Chain A
Amino acid sequence: MPETLLFYVLSGLAVGASALVIGQRNPMYSVLLLIVSFAALAGLYITLDAPFVAMAQMIIYAGAIMVLFLFVVMLLNAPQEDAAEWDRTHPLRRPGVARIGIVLAVLLVAELGWALAKVASLEGAVGGNADGAAIASVREMGRVLFTQYSFAFEATSVLILVAMIGAVVLARREGDA
């Protein structure tokens, strides 16, 4: 029972913080709330008997990546997000891009509702994790990662490499060596 309570508290924190991330005018607060959300996710991983994943989440996302985010926000020193002209009008009267965004948001909510309806009972989804013990062992996780999921693992690393090269190409000014 305490595990279920913990699940609701942590997931509530994660969802609430994530919602507030996009609701903030100040990018600094958004970054901090995102860290809260990541920390809550790490807590959820711990309740799923995956302490290694939880700590990797804390070190990589909450620790390293968000510090870089914070660094960029501080360097730009943007106290307020620029509010566009149409920002204060009714959501349905905004230009095309915003409308597509709204459609996608509605779709996402519908999908989430559908997925939750498919799960017979939430209790079962929280407690009964069959391969939780396997994830707990780092050795086992490494083995699975480099055998069973090696293709997905390599594909992800290539994807990240491509994104990195893309960022370098985009950021490079004309005329630089």
Chain B
Amino acid sequence: MDLRLLIQFLIIFAAFFMLVNASAVLVLAERKVMGFMQQRYGPYLVGPHGMLQPFADILKLLMKEELRPKGADKWLFTLAPILAVTTAFAAFATVPFGGETTFFGLLDQPVKLGAADVNVGVLVIFAITSMGVYGIVLAGWSSNSKYALFGGLRASAQMISYELSYATALAAVIMLAGSMSVREVVDSQAGTWFGVLPKWYIFLQPVGFIIYFIAGIAETNRAPFDFPEAEQELVAGFNTEYSSVRFALFPQAEYINMVTVAAVATDLYLGGWHGLLPFYTPLDPLIEQWNIGWLVFFAKIGGILFFYIWMRWTVPRYRYDQLMKFGWKYLFPASVINLLVTAAMVLYFNA
């Protein structure tokens, strides 16, 4: 087989493997960070410092009995978790996670890190993410349970409302970069302004980044926007009737979506694999020289994911009408204004 093809397969497999593991690691990270914030240890018994807890969690979930409510829709009840997790994996397909690298001289010619490089990459990510809502909605509907149905309804309403702001924030970045390929957007952020500030789009699009991040939290149904699974109101929301492996797929999809949102934020706003810190450091040329931009990329994703978890244990949940009001009356107009101002600026400075 062609060596390049084999390497590409390996990269795709690595990305897949990374996402599978990321969901397990994030469960542990979430519990550890939560423990840290509440001045306790978190899981501590399985393995050193509780590091093997994910294995125990997964084993427990696999051994449970798989239940299906009597009135549930046979096909859709099984299809829903599969759909949720498939779209979560697929959305990562066009997210590049590193520049050209030879893996410390292991390969004789550099390869690009990323599953696929499509010239409408940003749109592909957005299209597949918007498919993810079907998994949750169908789970809510097919369970034949009132609480689950309410969870599904909330999920669809919430995701439609925040998808608009999400897409509008992304459109501003696309205009700045003049390309819809994620890799080209990242590479247009290489270099620095005045030798101090890296050319990240977060400095040109501070409002856009905040809008993207808020909408991203709402899209992944995380606190403070976790209405589809609000415990106090809906038992467990759309996944109330699920157990065992079918249940496990929902949190997995949620964590993979978190990774995707963080990776897209890193690619589009934080310079991807260009520049480690938000100011110039002598390390930056070394990173370019050693081709270890992908490590920098993962460090940035880790930072964003920590922020995500931090948010969850800090900010209380909103009320449902507040969520809708905020999405349509504040976030969406703000993103439209941001888009118009960006368009005017691009026209003015490029003309």
Contacts and interface: CB of A to CB of B under 8 A. Distances in A.
A106 to B, nearest CB: 33
Contacts of A13: none
B163 interface: yes
B152 A63 contact: no
Interface string B112-133: 0000001110011011101101
A51 B126 CA distance: 14
B137 interface: yes
A59 B126 contact: yes
Nearest to A55: B123
Interface in B147-163: 149, 152-153, 156-157, 159-160, 163
Q: How large is the interface on B (under 10, 10 to 19, 20 to 34, 35 or more residues)?
A: 20 to 34
* Chain B contact residues: helix, strand, loop or mixed: helix
Contact of A68 (B126, B127, B160): B160
A59 B133 CA distance: 12
A64 interface: yes
A59 B166 CA distance: 12
B127 A59 contact: yes
A168 B76 CA distance: 33
B157 A63 contact: no
Interface residues of A, number: 21
Interface in B8-31: none
Nearest to A68: B160
A51 B131 contact: no
Contact of A64 (B152, B157, B160): B160
Contacts, number: 67
* Chain A contact residues: helix, strand, loop or mixed: helix
Interface string A32-56: 1001000000000000000110011
A51 B119 contact: yes
A8 to B, nearest CB: 24
Nearest to B71: A79
Contacts of A20: none
A135 B225 CA distance: 39
Contacts of A62: 127, 130-131
A28 B141 contact: yes
B134 interface: yes
A37 B263 CA distance: 31
Contact of B163 (A35, A55, A63, A71): A63
Contacts of B223: none
Interface string B154-190: 0011011001000100000000000010000000000
A63 B153 contact: no
Given A28-B73, A55-B120, 18 more contacts: A28-B141, A32-B76, A51-B120, A55-B123, A56-B123, A58-B131, A59-B123, A59-B126, A62-B130, A63-B130, A63-B131, A67-B160, A70-B141, A74-B137, A74-B149, A77-B149, A136-B119, A138-B120
Interface of A: 28, 32, 35, 51-52, 55-56, 58-59, 62-64, 67-68, 70-71, 74-75, 77, 136, 138
Q: Give 3 nearest A-B pairs by CB, closest first.
A: A63-B130, A55-B123, A58-B127
